[in-house]
Amino acid sequence: MKKYYLGKIGISVTEMCFGALPIGPLQANISVEKGAKLICAALERGINFIDTAEAYKTYPYIRKALEGYDKEVVIATKSSAETYKKMEQSIKDALESLGRSYIDIFLLHAARVTPSVFEERAGALQCLKDYKLKGIVRAIGISTHAVGIVRRAAEIREIDIIFPIINRLGMGIIGGSIDDMVKAITEAHKAGKGLYAMKALAGGHLIDRLEESFNFVRNIKGISSIAVGMVNQEELELNLKIFNDEEIPQELLTQKTKPGKRLFILSFCKGCGTCVKICPNNALSLENGKAVVDHKLCILCGYCNPVCPEFAIRLI
């Protein structure tokens, strides 16, 4: 598989990144053993890049997958911590949970915020800077759905990596159009930032147009890798063929394009609105004292699930 450098930091990653969100508790919730086996299969097939986050609760899967594995693996993780102390704890937890002495890429997890996030989370950002100086974190940056944040991050010298949302439908993009996001990505690349992309399939909305949807993002100047969520061997095989520009057997394509999961709000929802506030895509709202989901806007990011105090949200 092709490899590209992420900006100017000297980290080389495969064009396909294993997105760890779907295997974990927020989505498919497969066993640690099964998830680790899938990650191992991806590594054995040449993928060297894994994307995760503190909120995904997938550190155990990655740690188990890497037991006895001695080849290069680049791990990117994220934390929504706002203060120095909380970010420091997030870093320590990641190191301990993953069983590593350093983290390759550590990002501010900031889907639905404004460009002022860098001031609002100044303590957390300073912590990342300090741990980079210590050599415990190799590169720092931000994950975002917002065009304005990509633009702002491109201007901040200490930011190494930007992880933006981009897909050919423009789903999930905040504060601009597809063209605006592509332009912001290109400008960030010119500024020397490393970029890898999320939600190329718009949370499954583009599942029936796999190749053209992945290729749309692959062809954006500045994108070095695409985080792709997978939960079984069939998905892995198909995605590998796409990224290796191989011919795709019809049976693999048929398996991948079957209907995927959907978000459901259970009847005991109390309508507190916590999920509405956290949703970066405005796919949730309150009606008659209950949360409701607009499936046309939902990209299955899973951010709503862990914040529900009633455990009334399911991905089925």
- Sign (positive/negative) of CA torsion 314, 280, 297, 184? negative
Task: Look at domain 3-256 and name its CATH class.
Answer: alpha beta
Give the DSSP letter of residue 306: G
Are 184 and 151 contacting, i.e. CB atoms less than 8 angstroms apart? Answer: yes
Give which of 284, 26, 107, 173 is closest to 35, Cα–Cα. 26
pLDDT at 284: 93
120 strand-pairing partners: none
Q: Which two tokens stand for residue 200?
A: 């190329």
Residue 121 has, within 13 A of its CA and on its CB side, a CA count of: 24
Which residues touch 159 (CB under 8 Å, ≥6 apart)?
Answer: 140, 141, 142, 153, 193
pLDDT at 272: 95
Q: CATH assignment of 263-315? A: 3.30.70.20
- And the tokens for 9? 């930091």
pLDDT score recorded for residue 207? 85
Question: Where are the extended beta strands (E) located within 36-111?
Answer: 49-51, 74-79, 103-109
The string of DSSP letters for 172-216 reads T-BSS-HHHHHHHHHHHHHTT-EEEEB-TTGGGTTGGGHHHHHHH
Alpha-carbon distance of 92 to 89, in angstroms, equals 5
In the chain, list all ranges with CATH 3.30.70.20: 263-315
pLDDT at residue 252, rounded to an integer = 64
In which residue ranges of the chain is CATH 3.20.20.100 found?
3-256
Q: What is the largest CA-CA distance in the chain?
A: 55
**Can you give the pLDDT at residue 296?**
87
Q: What is the pTM of this model?
A: 0.89
Tell me which amino acid residue 269 is: C
**Under 8 Å between Cβ of 223 and 217:** yes
pLDDT string in tens for the chain (316-residue length): 899 999 999 999 999 999 999 999 888 899 999 999 999 999 999 999 999 999 999 999 999 999 989 999 999 999 999 999 999 999 999 999 999 999 999 999 987 788 899 999 999 999 999 999 999 999 999 999 999 999 999 999 999 999 999 999 999 899 999 999 999 999 999 999 999 999 999 988 888 889 999 999 999 999 999 999 999 999 999 999 999 999 887 766 665 544 456 788 888 899 999 999 988 888 999 999 999 999 888 888 777 887 888 778 876 5
